[in-house]
Amino acid sequence: MPDLILHNYPNSPFAEKVRLILGYKGLEWHSVQIPRVMPKPDLMPLTGGYRRTPVMQIGADVYCDSACIVRELERRYPETTLFPDGTNGVATMIGAWSDRVFFFDAVGVVFGTLGATVPNDLKEDRYTFSEGMIDIDRYQRDQAQLRSQLRAHLFWLERALEDGRLHVLGDKPTWADFCLYHPMWMVQRRVPELGAANDMPRTLAWFERMTAFGHGRPVELDAKEALRIAQTATPAPVKLGHPELPDGIPAGTAVTVAADDYGKDPVAGTLVAANAQRIVIRRTDPAVGEVNVHFPRAGFVLSKAA
């Protein structure tokens, strides 16, 4: 029985990034279906308030954000690496650009094109969740400009592949490819009629190569069973390299952790460890007992609890 549990839903691009990485690494995993809008009653006991998708669970350890998830997958399953040939730093930088810029090109084009057909619950949830940034009415008004931006950025991808390499940083895929894949997947899947990359043959061929990695071997798991698994497990010992506590907050302090861009719901707990790349807090919930919740350091705010 696989011990990797991914809390996700089919249309989530960030979840698709992780599903494709699970495929690339050839892993067996459990898939728990979560709602795409709040409330998420079976996810909150695990995360303590973090609501974004996806979340990975391994026993009583909960990993928030695809950047943290992938670092943990890479640590546990390094064989088919996402960082071959010294690409770690550059792949991570491209990934960060793609997740925050290229992804929102895709969001604007997809939601603006779907416009009135977007269900009201989703429209309202995303508006609140993003503090007004994901605004479908604005996306409709600005659609021409948003499509131009998407095309400008897609051409960068076409250009990156122009010497005939199979992937963005060489012939092997890296983390960068997976981060570039999911926004394009969103566009191709939700608004295929746009043909957004139809005149970019290298990009289309790369997209097909990436798609072919598939999703590995997912096995559906009931959300309540995932809670029970956490309840019967104990958090794994934490050993961070370079435990420099960059915020100067000692382990054992009551803290909150929140995303710094959108979906900023704070998660409260006790600091277990932090370094320049990761924050780990311990929290307790009647439904799951004690869990360690892991966040990436970049893109998150760590504060002493008020």
- CB-based burial label for 19 (10 Å; 0-12, 13-18, 19+): buried
Give residues with Cβ within 8 angstroms of 242, minimum separation 6: 275, 276
Structure tokens at 65: 């954000």
The only residue of 53, 87, 92, 188 in contact with ligand GSH, by rule CB under 6 A: 53
- What type of residue is 238? V
Of 13 and 216, which has the nearer Cβ to ligand GSH? 13
CA 160, chain centre distance (Å): 23
Structure tokens at 246: 């960059």
Distance CA 5, CA 84 (A): 26
- Nearest-CB residue to ligand GSH? 52
Region from 11-19, 146-154, 244-252, 269-277 binding ligand GSH, contact rule CB under 6 A = 11-19
Q: How many CB atoms lie within 10 A of CB 121?
A: 12
Nearest to 128 by CA among 189, 39, 55: 39
Give residues with Cβ within 8 angstroms of 24, minimum separation 6: 80, 82, 173, 178, 213
The only residue of 5, 7, 12, 230 in contact with ligand GSH, by rule CB under 6 A: 12
Query: Is residue 278 a contact residue for ligand GSH (CB under 6 A)?
Result: no
Q: What is the footprint of ligand GSH within residues 120-139 (CB under 6 A)?
A: 129
Query: Is residue 203 a contact residue for ligand GSH (CB under 6 A)?
Result: no
Query: Is residue 52 a contact residue for ligand GSH (CB under 6 A)?
Result: yes
Q: What is the footprint of ligand GSH within residues 18-47 (CB under 6 A)?
A: 36
Nearest to 53 by CA among 65, 61, 38, 41: 65
* Alpha helix segments (H runs only) across 27-135: 44-47, 66-76, 88-97, 103-114, 120-129
The only residue of 51, 202, 282, 294 in contact with ligand GSH, by rule CB under 6 A: 51
The helix or strand, by DSSP H or E, that contains position 188, with its residue range, turns out to be helix 175-190
Of 52 and 202, which has the nearer Cβ to ligand GSH? 52
Of 30 and 71, which has the nearer Cβ to ligand GSH? 71
Distance CA 211, CA 224 (A): 31
Of 12 and 113, which has the nearer Cβ to ligand GSH? 12
How many residues touch ligand GSH (CB under 6 A)? 13
Distance CA 141, CA 137 (A): 6
Q: How far is the CB of 11 from ligand GSH (least distance, A)?
A: 8
Of 106 and 221, which has the nearer Cβ to ligand GSH? 106
The only residue of 5, 7, 13, 181 in contact with ligand GSH, by rule CB under 6 A: 13
Q: What is the footprint of ligand GSH within residues 82-101 (CB under 6 A)?
A: 99
The only residue of 84, 246, 263, 289 in contact with ligand GSH, by rule CB under 6 A: 263
> One symbol per residue from 165 to 184: x for binding ligand GSH (CB under 6 A), - otherwise; what is it?
--------------------
250 DSSP 8-state letter = P
> One symbol per residue from 54 to 83: x for binding ligand GSH (CB under 6 A), - otherwise; what is it?
-----------xxx----------------
Interface residues with ligand GSH (CB under 6 A) are 12-14, 36, 51-53, 65-67, 99, 129, 263
